[in-house]
C-alpha cells in the first residue's frame, strides 16, 4: 500500500502541470495566485507557480540614497502579493543582512517585510567560504581574518555572524601599534571606540608567536584608504602573513610573478568591483572599485610590474551570480512549499526556474553579470537596464556597439516599467498597480 506522500509524488510526476486534489495539498494549491486573472496561459498552467523570477539591484533601482524611486514600493508589493519570487542583489553592504532588510522594508514602506532569505549583499557569498571548499581558500572558522571596510565594528559583527571566530580589523592593529601608519592618529578616537586587543602581538623576531593573518576580506568600502592600503601591502609582501616580516622571495626573478605572493601570503578578496555608485550627490561617487585600482597602481609601482593576485566577488562576478541563482532557487522552492505544501514542492514535482529578469542601473555590474552568467541549471538571465541610477544615455563608456557585453536586452524608464515589461513577456495578466 503506497503512503499518501508516495501517491502524491507519483501523481505529480505523471501530471507535472496539474495539481492533484487529495485534501490539504489541493486546497493549498488552489490558494496559488489568488488575485491572478485566469486568462493568458493554458488552463493546465493556471495553478502552476511561475517559472520566472526577478533579481533587483537596490541603489539606483529601488532607492536613491534612502529615498524610494517612484514605482519601486509598488513593484515589490505587487510581486509579493502575486507570490512571484525575487531576490535583491546588491553590491552594497557593510551591515548585517537582517539590518539592511529591516531598513529597506521601512524605506520602501512595504506591508510584508522583506526577509534575509532573498537578500544578497556584496559580501554575503563570504558566508559560504566556511562551507564551500572551492571558494573559501581553505578557511576554517578558526582562521584569523583581517576584515576591512565599513563603519566601526559593523563588518566584524557581520563576519562573526557568518561563523568566523577570529576576526581582526585595522582598528585593532592601529590601536595596538599606532606607529604602523602614523597619519591615522587623526582617527584615534574613532578607532579606540571599537578596537579590540590583538590575539597575539606583532613580533617579527619570533614569527611562531606573532600575529599571522590567514586571509584579507574587504567587506565594504574602506573608510581610511591610507591605513588599509598600508596593511594590505604589508601582508602581501610578508612571509606567510606574519605582520612585520618581509618575504625573502620578493623580487626573485626565478620564481613565478617575480617571487611576489609566492610565500604563503594571505589570499586577498574584494567584495565589490564597482568603480562608481549612485549616492545622494548628483554625480556618481567612487566605490570599492576605486580602492582596487588605487591598490593595483601602488602594487605595480612597488613590485616593478608584478601581478596583484586577488579575487573580486560581487556583481558582475560569476561567483556572485551563481551564489545568487542558488539562493533564488532555494527561496523559490520555500515559497512554493509554503503555498502548496511540502509534499508538492519536492524536486521533480515542480518546474525548474526558467528565467530571471535582472533589473539594474549599472551596465558594468548588473547588466554585464546577467549577460555573462552561465547557469549550471539552464536558467536564462535577462538583463533590463533602468534610467534612474548610474546609467546615462549617450555617455561614451556605455557605447553598446563597442562593448556588447554591456548591452541590456531592453532599456526602460524605471523599475515599474521593467516589471511590467517582464510580466507582459510572460503573458501575466496583472500589472503593477
Ligand atoms: Mg545600482
pLDDT in tens, 230-242: 999 999 999 999 9
Q: Are strands 276-277 and 215-218 parallel, antiparallel or unpaired?
A: unpaired
23: Cβ contacts below 8 Å, ≥ 6 apart: none
- C-alpha 301 – ligand 1 centre gap (Å): 32
Same fold, 1-51+67-122+316-350+371-386+421-433 and 132-312: yes
Torsion over CA: 347, 87, 420, 112 (sign): positive
pLDDT tens-digit readout, 329-360: 999 988 888 877 666 666 667 788 999 999 99
Cα 290 from chain centroid? 18
- C-alpha 34 – ligand 1 centre gap (Å): 33
pLDDT value of residue 34? 36
- C-alpha 18 – ligand 1 centre gap (Å): 40
- C-alpha 59 – ligand 1 centre gap (Å): 4
**What are the domain boundaries of the chain?**
1-51+67-122+316-350+371-386+421-433, 132-312
pLDDT value of residue 338? 80
- Can you list the positions of beta strands (E) in 1-99? 52-56, 63-64, 67-68, 86-89
Distance, in Å, from the CA atom of 166 to the CA atom of 50, rounded to the nearest integer, reads 43
CATH superfamily, region 132-312:
HAD superfamily/HAD-like (3.40.50.1000)
pTM (predicted TM-score): 0.84
pLDDT value of residue 339? 75
- C-alpha 86 – ligand 1 centre gap (Å): 16
pLDDT value of residue 35? 41
CB–CB of 148/170 below 8 Å?
A: yes
- C-alpha 179 – ligand 1 centre gap (Å): 38
- C-alpha 398 – ligand 1 centre gap (Å): 15
- C-alpha 278 – ligand 1 centre gap (Å): 6
pLDDT value of residue 17? 32
Gyration radius of the chain's alpha carbons: 24
pLDDT below 70 — which residues of the chain? 1-48, 133-137, 341-348
- Longest alpha-carbon distance in the chain: 78
CATH fold of 1-51+67-122+316-350+371-386+421-433 reads: Rossmann fold (3.40.50)
109 sits in the region (left: phi over 0; alpha: psi -120 to 50; else beta) called left
pLDDT tens-digit readout, 8-26: 444 344 333 333 333 333 3
Helix axes 415-425, 72-82, angle to 10 degrees: 30
Tracing cell 583581517 back to the chain, one arrives at 146
- C-alpha 355 – ligand 1 centre gap (Å): 21
Give CA separation, 250 vs 146, 230, 256, in Å.
22, 17, 10
CB–CB of 138/131 below 8 Å?
A: no
Amino acid at each position: 500500500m503506497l503512503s499518501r506522500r508516495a501517491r502524491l509524488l507519483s501523481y505529480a510526476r505523471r501530471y507535472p502541470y496539474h495539481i492533484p486534489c487529495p485534501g490539504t495539498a489541493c486546497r493549498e494549491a488552489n490558494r496559488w495566485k489568488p488575485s491572478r486573472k485566469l486568462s493568458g496561459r493554458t488552463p493546465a498552467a493556471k495553478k502552476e507557480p511561475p517559472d520566472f523570477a526577478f533579481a533587483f539591484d537596490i541603489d539606483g533601482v529601488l532607492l536613491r540614497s534612502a529615498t524610494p524611486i517612484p514605482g519601486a514600493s509598488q513593484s515589490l508589493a505587487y510581486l509579493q502579493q502575486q507570490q512571484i519570487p525575487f531576490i535583491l542583489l546588491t553590491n552594497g553592504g557593510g551591515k548585517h543582512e537582517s539590518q539592511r532588510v529591516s531598513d529597506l522594508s521601512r524605506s520602501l514602506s512595504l506591508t510584508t517585510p522583506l526577509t534575509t532569505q532573498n537578500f544578497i549583499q556584496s559580501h554575503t557569498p563570504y558566508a559560504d567560504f566556511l562551507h564551500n571548499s572551492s571558494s573559501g581558500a581553505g578557511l576554517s572558522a578558526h582562521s584569523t581574518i583581517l576584515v576591512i571596510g565599513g563603519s566601526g565594528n559593523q563588518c566584524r559583527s557581520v563576519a562573526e555572524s557568518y561563523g568566523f571566530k577570529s576576526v581582526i580589523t585595522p582598528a585593532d592593529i592601529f590601536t595596538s601599534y599606532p606607529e604602523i601608519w602614523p597619519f591615522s592618529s587623526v582617527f584615534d578616537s574613532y578607532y579606540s571606540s571599537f578596537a579590540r586587543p590583538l590575539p597575539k602581538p606583532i613580533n617579527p623576531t619570533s614569527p611562531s608567536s606573532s600575529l599571522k593573518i590567514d586571509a584579507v576580506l574587504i567587506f565594504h568600502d574602506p573608510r581610511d584608504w591610507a591605513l588599509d592600503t598600508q596593511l594590505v601591502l604589508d601582508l602581501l609582501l610578508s612571509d606567510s602573513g606574519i605582520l612585520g616580516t618581509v618575504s625573502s622571495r620578493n623580487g626573485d626573478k626565478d620564481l613565478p610573478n617575480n617571487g611576489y605572493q609566492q610565500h604563503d601570503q594571505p589570499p586577498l578578496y574584494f567584495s565589490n568591483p564597482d568603480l562608481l555608485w549612485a549616492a545622494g550627490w548628483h554625480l556618481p561617487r567612487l566605490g570599492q572599485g576605486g580602492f582596487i585600482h588605487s591598490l593595483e597602481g601602488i602594487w605595480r609601482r612597488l613590485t616593478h610590474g608584478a601581478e596583484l593576485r586577488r579575487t573580486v566577488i560581487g556583481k558582475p562576478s560569476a561567483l556572485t551570480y551563481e551564489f545568487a541563482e542558488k539562493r533564488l532557487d532555494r527561496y523559490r522552492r520555500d515559497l512554493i512549499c509554503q503555498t502548496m505544501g511540502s509534499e508538492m514542492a519536492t524536486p521533480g514535482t515542480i518546474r525548474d526556474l526558467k528565467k530571471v529578469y535582472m533589473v539594474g542601473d549599472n551596465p558594468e555590474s548588473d547588466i554585464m553579470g546577467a549577460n555573462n552568467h552561465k547557469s549550471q541549471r539552464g536558467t536564462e538571465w535577462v538583463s533590463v537596464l533602468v534610467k534612474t541610477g548610474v546609467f546615462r544615455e549617450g555617455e561614451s563608456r556605455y557605447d553598446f556597439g563597442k562593448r556588447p557585453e554591456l548591452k541590456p536586452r531592453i532599456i526602460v524608464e524605471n523599475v515599474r516599467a521593467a516589471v511590467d515589461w517582464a510580466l507582459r513577456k510572460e503573458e501575466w495578466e496583472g500589472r503593477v498597480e
